[in-house]
C-alpha cells in the first residue's frame, strides 16, 4: 500500500471521531450565531450531500433545509438530489433559477456576449443569492459545500459557492469526502458519478481542472506527484489566492 492509500486508511480508522468533530463544530457555530438552523444548496453531488447529512446529524432534520436550484440542469442531478432526500431524511425544496438566469444574462449580453465560464459563474452566484435570501428569512445560516481539494486550487466561484457562513467539509479532500459519504449512507450513485458543478452541459470538474482528483489529492496528502501536475496545481493555487482571502481594503 502506498502512502496515499495509507493516508486514506488512517482517515477511515478515525472517521467516527471526525464526524463528531464536524457535527460539534456545526452545532456550536449555529448556536454562537443565535441562528435557528442551516440551509444547504443541494447539487445532486457528493459534497453537498455530505454537508447536508452532517448538518442533519448536528442540528436535527427539522432545522436543516436543502434547496435544489436547477438552471437547465442535467436530469441525473435532480434524480440524485431526490435520492438524497430518502437516504438522509432531508427536507428539500426547489427554486428554479433558470428564469432569473435567462433574464440577467440577456441584460448583461447587451454589453458583451458571455462565454460558458461567465454564464456558469452567474448561475453559481444566483444560487448563493437564493440561499441567502431564504436563510435570512428563516433565521438560518448558509452552509458551504466546497472541499479542501477545490478550495486549494480555487475551483469555486467567488461570490457563489465560495461564499457562505460556515463550511463543515473544508479540510477534507475529495477522496476523504467519498470515504465519509459511504460511512454516513449517501446513495452509491452520488458517490461514484463524475463530479460536476453543473454549470453547463457536459461539464465535469476534472475536465475543467486539467487533472484528476487522484492527482490533486495525492499531492495534497503526500506532497508527491508528477512534476508537471504539481506545477499546474501550484499555479492554480497562486492565481486563486484572492478567493481564499477576505476582501482587502485601505
Domain ranges of the chain: 3-243
Task: Give the C-alpha separation, 195 to 66, whole Å.
Answer: 19
Once rounded to an integer, what is the mean pLDDT over residues 53-59?
A: 98
Task: Give the C-alpha separation, 190 to 55, whole Å.
Answer: 18
Nearest to 104 by CA among 95, 89, 114: 114
Question: And the C-alpha cell for 230?
Answer: 504539481
What's the pLDDT score for residue 195? 72
Work out the pLDDT band at 66, boundaries 50, 70, 90: very high
Average pLDDT across the chain, whole number: 94
Summarize the annotated binding site as residue ranges.
41-48, 125, 145, 150, 158, 165, 174, 196, 242-243
Q: How many residues does the chain have?
A: 250
Summarize the annotated binding site for deamido-NAD(+) as residue ranges.
125, 158, 165, 242-243
Summarize the annotated binding site for ATP as residue ranges.
41-48, 145, 174, 196
> What is the tens place of the pLDDT at every residue in 159-211?
999 999 999 999 999 999 999 999 999 999 999 987 766 665 666 777 778 88
Question: And the C-alpha cell for 215?
Answer: 492527482
Task: Give the C-alpha separation, 214 to 237, whole Å.
Answer: 17
Query: pTM for the full model?
Result: 0.93
Task: Give the C-alpha separation, 75 to 44, whole Å.
Answer: 10
Residue with cell 506545477: 231
> What is the tens place of the pLDDT at every residue in 108-141?
999 999 999 999 999 999 999 999 999 999 999 9
Q: Which CATH architecture has domain 3-243?
A: 3-Layer(aba) Sandwich (3.40)
Angle between helix axes 15-32 and 46-59 (nearest 10 degrees) is 70
Instruction: Give the Å distances, CA to CA, from 160 to 97, 150, 181.
Output: 14, 13, 23
Summarize the annotated binding site for Mg(2+) as residue ranges.
47, 150
Amino acid at each position: 500500500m502506498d502512502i496515499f492509500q495509507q493516508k486514506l486508511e488512517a482517515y477511515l480508522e478515525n472517521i467516527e471521531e471526525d464526524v463528531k468533530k464536524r457535527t460539534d463544530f456545526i452545532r456550536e457555530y449555529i448556536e454562537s450565531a443565535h441562528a435557528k438552523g442551516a440551509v444547504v444548496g443541494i447539487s445532486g453531488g457528493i459534497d453537498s450531500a455530505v454537508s447536508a447529512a452532517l448538518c442533519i446529524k448536528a442540528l436535527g432534520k427539522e432545522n436543516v433545509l436543502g434547496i435544489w436550484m436547477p438552471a437547465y440542469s442535467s436530469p441525473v442531478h435532480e434524480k440524485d438530489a431526490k435520492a438524497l432526500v430518502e437516504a438522509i431524511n432531508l427536507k428539500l425544496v426547489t427554486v428554479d433559477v433558470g428564469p432569473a438566469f435567462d433574464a440577467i444574462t440577456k441584460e448583461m449580453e447587451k454589453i458583451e456576449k458571455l462565454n460558458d465560464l461567465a454564464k456558469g459563474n452567474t448561475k453559481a452566484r444566483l444560487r448563493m443569492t437564493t440561499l441567502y435570501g431564504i436563510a435570512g428569512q428563516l433565521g438560518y445560516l448558509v452552509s458551504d459545500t466546497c472541499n479542501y481539494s477545490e478550495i486549494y486550487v480555487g475551483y469555486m466561484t467567488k461570490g457563489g459557492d465560495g461564499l457562505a457562513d460556515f463550511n463543515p467539509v473544508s479540510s477534507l479532500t475529495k477522496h476523504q469526502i467519498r470515504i465519509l459519504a459511504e460511512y454516513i449512507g449517501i446513495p452509491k450513485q452520488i458517490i461514484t458519478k463524475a463530479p460536476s458543478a453543473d454549470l453547463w452541459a457536459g461539464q465535469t470538474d476534472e475536465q475543467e481542472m486539467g487533472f484528476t482528483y487522484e492527482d490533486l489529492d495525492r499531492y495534497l496528502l503526500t506532497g508527491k506527484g508528477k512534476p508537471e501536475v504539481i506545477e499546474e496545481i501550484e499555479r492554480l493555487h497562486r492565481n486563486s489566492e484572492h478567493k481564499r482571502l477576505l476582501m482587502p481594503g485601505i
